[in-house]
Amino acid sequence: MPVGEVLHSAGACLDDDCWVAAIGDDAPEGESVFARSLPMRKLLEDCLLAYGMNGHPLPAEHGAPVRLIVPGWYGTNSVKWLSRLHVMETMLCGPEWEEYTHWQQEKYRLVPQGEQPTERETIDAFDLGDQFADPSIRHPFMYGMLVNSLIVSPGPDESLAPERGDSVTIQGVAWAGDNDISAVEVSTDGGETWHSATLLGDDEQPCWRQFGFEWTPRSGTHTLVSRATDDRGRTQPAAISDPDERLLTIANRKFPWNKRGYASNAYGPVATTVTAE
Ligand SMILES: Nc1nc2c(c(=O)[nH]1)N[C@H]1C(S)=C(S)[C@@H](COP(=O)(O)O)O[C@H]1N2
Ligand SMILES: [Mo]
């Protein structure tokens, strides 16, 4: 069910610049409550309250009786065991909301080596790439996902035995948060050279794109890797930076190292090694 319908029938203020605190019901007595602040604009655009999954009631471990689904944003925003939606003017912050701020203000932020995030009342950019580009946001929040991709077949350490001269189909998926995928490239030599993959399926498909690439392997060991580009021209970086580089944004094809290892979309660390006979 669209969240907007519930907010509307409750007579809540639906102004674009409001925030909605989505509060979970899983905290033991006296511990920080799991809660996320989400901008009203996103909630009204495409967020859902889910009470079923694949035609069955929602299982307990996925948030029954009802959870929030925030499409295109990092999973942490999809609050499970939802007990309350609270419309407010700011994110959860300050002493008044003390029990509710831990997961919003301290965890699920990108923090470089040697720094501590400070509380924010509000921000104006949500896509993680846009937060990187906003100098007022030093420690970005885990909201809109960066462009990313994965090869799913062949699988890690698979041995391929194609007939001589036959090709193998490399298949994978790519996604770009609230943006669309515009291209995917595949490399069979660990990122030295790249080939355009074919985007499959429907480009109206909002969440992810499948891709394929026909490859005729020579015998030996190969490192397969994919990299996607979104419709704003942003491409996955190659590697994660060193902590002491203290990067605050993607630069020199490096993703900024952060304390909890969140949100990396670098293609290098997820390469797949396969052997062809
Ligand atoms: N109430 C509540 N909701 C939560 C969490 C939680 O700890 N408590 N974890 C979040 C995180 S970090 C993720 S990745 C997803 C995981 O959802 P899943 O278990 O359905 O895969 O739930 C999110 N929602
Ligand atoms: Mo998570």
Residue 174 within a domain:
yes
Task: Give the total number of structural domains in the chain.
Answer: 2
pLDDT at 206: 64
Same domain, 95 and 152: no
User: Does residue 198 register a pLDDT over 70?
Assistant: yes
* 3-12 residue pLDDT tens: 999 999 999 9
Same domain, 163 and 222: yes
* 67-111 residue pLDDT tens: 999 999 999 999 999 999 999 999 999 999 999 999 999 999 999
Centre of ligand 2 to C-alpha 69, Å, is: 13
Decide: 79 in ligand 1 pocket, CB within 6 A. Answer: yes
- Residue 160 — pLDDT band, cuts 50, 70, 90? very high
User: Does residue 165 register a pLDDT over 90?
Assistant: no
Decide: 75 in ligand 1 pocket, CB within 6 A. Answer: yes
* 137-150 residue pLDDT tens: 999 999 999 999 99
Residue 58 within a domain:
yes
Query: Which candidate, 217, 274, 235, places its Cα nearest to that of 226?
Result: 235
Q: In this structure, what token pair is assigned to residue 233?
A: 């021209």
Give the 3-state DSSP-derived string for 13-68, with helices as H, strands as E and coil as C. CCCCCCEEEEEECCCCCCCCCCEEEEEHHHHHHHCEEECEECCEECCHHHCCCCEE
Same domain, 154 and 90: no
Same domain, 94 and 158: no
- Residue 205 — pLDDT band, cuts 50, 70, 90? low
Residue 117 within a domain:
no
Decide: 62 in ligand 1 pocket, CB within 6 A. Answer: yes
Same domain, 171 and 233: yes
Same domain, 89 and 184: no
* 27-60 residue pLDDT tens: 999 999 999 999 999 999 999 999 999 999 999 9
Helices (H), 54-148: 128-132
> Which ligand is closest to the CA of 76, given by its number?
1
Share of the chain above pLDDT 90, in %: 95
Q: Please give the model's pTM, rounded to 2 decimal places.
A: 0.96
User: By mean pLDDT, which of 26-40, 101-115, 165-179, 202-216 is the weakest?
Assistant: 202-216
- Residue 188 sits in which domain range? 148-244+251-276
Same domain, 71 and 152: no
CATH number at residue 7: 3.90.420.10
Centre of ligand 2 to C-alpha 195, Å, is: 32
pLDDT at 201: 86
Residue 142 within a domain:
no
Same domain, 62 and 165: no
Same domain, 267 and 184: yes
* Rg, Å, the chain Cα set: 21
pLDDT at 112: 97
